[in-house]
Amino acid sequence: MSYPVNRFGARQVLSNLVVEERDLSMSRETRTLLGGVGAIRSIVQGQVLGARLYGAPTIDDNGMAVTKGSLGAVVLGDRVELGDYQFTARSANDWSVTTPAGLRLADAETGAPYGTEHLSATITAGGAPFAAGDRFTVTVASGDGKLVALDPAASDGSQLADCVSFFDQEAPDGVDLEILTCVRDAVLVDSGLVWPDGFTAFQIAFALDRLAGGDRRIYTREGI
């Protein structure tokens, strides 16, 4: 296999990062790194990446009079699902909330910040009171799935560990780049992983659990 040359002109080897791969055809996958925005987007070998799984949520007031108020400040959580979340008024102040799959979440209250692992939002009262049956629909659509550096402040899915970069790479401004990533069935050197600045031990543990879970099965071992 030919190894890319990094920005310093040195050839990179996978032994700095990879302990074991179960099956190269399964462990490795070419994925799309989002092009830079106003500058080159740079990632390094071992960088933990997130994928833009979700688009910006949209809000439908289902024909409700605008004088009644609004729902806003929507931020997607780690357990968000694709589809329609329903906020349905039971009275002027109390709201039931359901997921796209119909699961009942914690109730919301007019004027109070609302937050679950699925999403957070705020329902703000207007000049006219809400009434039973009033409804807001928050629709979560698929994102483009492109990779970026893991970002704990994001809410588009890129706050969740998705895969690991095998080499230093640079996507030009406005131009996406196909890169080789570790996506499943591998053991990586723990000290070879690159995390966001300021990432806490708890955040690292959460990300490692995600990489190890599901069909990823990406584990780590102390450097050898």
Confidence of residue 205 (pLDDT cuts 50, 70, 90): very high
Q: Are residues 152 and 210 in the same domain?
A: yes
* 159 inside domain: yes
Q: Are residues 131 and 86 in the same domain?
A: yes
Boundaries of domain holding 194: 14-53+145-221
Three-class secondary structure of residue 36 per DSSP: strand
Which pLDDT value is given to residue 223? 67
Total-model pTM:
0.81
Asked whether the predicted pLDDT for residue 116 surpasses 50, the reply is yes
Which pLDDT value is given to residue 10? 44
* 3 inside domain: no
Distance of alpha carbon 34 from alpha carbon 137, whole angstroms: 30
Q: Are residues 134 and 151 in the same domain?
A: no
The domain that holds 32 is classified in CATH as 2.40.300.10
Residues 6+ apart with CB under 8 A from 163: 29, 31, 48, 49, 51, 147, 181, 182, 183, 216, 218
**pLDDT, tens digit, for every residue of 47-92?**
999 999 999 999 999 999 989 999 999 999 989 999 999 999 999 9
**pLDDT, tens digit, for every residue of 158-195?**
999 999 999 999 999 999 999 999 999 999 999 999 99
* 156 inside domain: yes
Nearest alpha-carbon partner for 28 in 193, 165, 181: 181
Residue type, 110: T
